[in-house]
Amino acid sequence: MKIAINIPTYVTGSLDSGKAFNIELIKKIALSEPSNEFIITQSGDIEKMQNMPGNISIINLDSPGKNFLKWRLTYDYKIPSILKKNGVDLFIATDGICSLRTKIPQILFVQDLSYLIFPELFPSGIAAFFKRNTAGFLKKAVQIVVPSQFIENQIIAKYKSDPAKIHIAEQSPGVEFRQLSWEEKESTREKYSEGKEFFLFVGTIHPKNNLKQLLQAFSLFKKRQKTNTQLLIVGERGRLHEEFISSFAHYKFKNEVKIIEDLPAVDLPLLMGTANAFVYPSLYDGFPVSILNAMKAGVPVLASARSAIPETAGEGAILFDPENVNELSAQMMNIYKNENLRNEMVNRGLERAKDFNIAKIAEKIRKLIHTFKQN
């Protein structure tokens, strides 16, 4: 059987969990299915696709960027042509967009529905594109894969999709995240935080990630706790990024906050493993893989009690109301001052991260492929 998998942008160690479709997952599936042929269509850097199993081939597409008209051209014309030319039996779309012009069965991955919650925060036309087409995509797909029960519930409530065709397959923490030695932590602090301890946020600089409230909470923390602890915000540029940077220029403690927009991918596990605590105040996330990365790195996690975040965190994080600055600040104080609490949350997080095993997730997808094959 020939299976095509579309990855619109090759992402490794992405800061935004909403983009993450783990290439390691595809490798696992391909290795477990040596009799099947896998074709990856992707609009990224082919040079990065290294060490692939022999039954995977790669076809590069021109990137449509954020032009939703080019998206339709890609999915309704270019991809169907590739599928037909290569005799593909099953198409797996990993970014929430189906091809509406092919008769080849499709498995659709839907990572989140944030365009329904924050349409004003998307570039012009993007939210409208998904609002207009998602019902058709969900209907067209023979199976739908989501990363959390939260997203499944949203799809059923909004689009009345058949629950029987929706399957949960979580993401897993990156293989590169691990507990660090004292020497590695010291070296990382010297490089990024002037040798000082720090709280860490990783994700897109976007209003849904609630960074203004994080800054307010950090201000309260600094006023109440006389410490040189810093806040590091590691972020890709998102919608209204300029507005956030402009407001940050007037922030009282700006000299104790580092905004890092171009972090080398190899340094992300080092920053994660060195942080005093990972703070994730997002208002919406379909599956916050970054909190699992922190847990796997042995770092205590403070996380928003919204969307799929509590479901993912389980007992491995301290939850807070993301719109209550005082509550977040108090939790930052608690984790900073209470060594017993820190140790407890580190241990809970390490155990929680083990629940998200890439081999188990690959097996779920493999079973879906087998179900299609049998039918």
User: Across the chain, what does the average pLDDT equal?
Assistant: 89
What is the model's pLDDT at position 49?
62
Separation CA 45–CA 276 (nearest Å): 35
With the C-alpha atoms ordered 133, 138, 144, 150, is the resulting torsion angle positive or negative?
Answer: positive
pLDDT the model gives residue 1 = 92
Co-location of 332 and 241 in the same domain: yes
Q: Does the CA dihedral 142-147-149-154 come out positive or negative?
A: negative
Report if residue 369 sits inside a domain. Answer: yes
> Does 363 lie in the same domain as 234?
no
Give the tens place of pLDDT for each residue, 191-207: 999 999 999 999 988 88
Q: What is the CATH number of the domain that holds 165?
A: 3.40.50.2000
Same domain for 85 and 193, yes or no, is: no
Give the length of the chain. 375
Query: For residues 254 and 256, what is the distance between their CA atoms, to the nearest angstrom?
Result: 5
- Judgement on whether residues 266 and 332 belong to the same structural domain of the protein: yes
Residue 300 CA to residue 294 CA, distance in Å, equals 7
Residue 342 and residue 306 share a domain: yes
> Quick check: is 177 in a domain?
no
Residue 290 counted as domain residue: yes
Q: CA 213 to CA 279: how far, in whole Å?
A: 12
> Are residue 149 and residue 21 in the same domain, yes or no?
yes
The tally of domains found in the chain comes to 2
DSSP state of 180: P
| CB crowding 250-263: b at 16 or more within 10 Å, else e | eeeeeebbbbbeeb
Domain that includes residue 203, residue range: 182-354
- Model pTM score: 0.91
For residues 163 and 223, membership in a common domain is answered with: no
Segment 18-57, tens digit of pLDDT: 344 467 788 889 999 999 999 998 876 555 566 789 999 9
Measured in degrees and rounded to the nearest 5, phi and psi for residue 155 equal -65, -45
% of the chain with per-residue pLDDT over 90: 66
Element (H, E) at 304: strand 301-304
Rounded average pLDDT over 305-332: 97
Helix or strand (DSSP H, E) at 59: strand 56-60
On whether both 264 and 275 belong to a single domain, the answer is yes
Whether residue 220 is found in the same domain as residue 156:
no
**Within-domain flag for 267:** yes
Is residue 128's pLDDT more than 90? no
Q: Do 69 and 145 reside in the same domain of the chain?
A: yes
Looking at the domain assignment, is residue 84 inside a domain? yes
Tell me: do 128 and 76 sit in the same domain. Answer: yes
Q: Are residues 222 and 163 in the same domain?
A: no
The string of pLDDT tens digits covering residues 150-185 is: 999 999 999 999 999 999 999 999 889 999 999 999
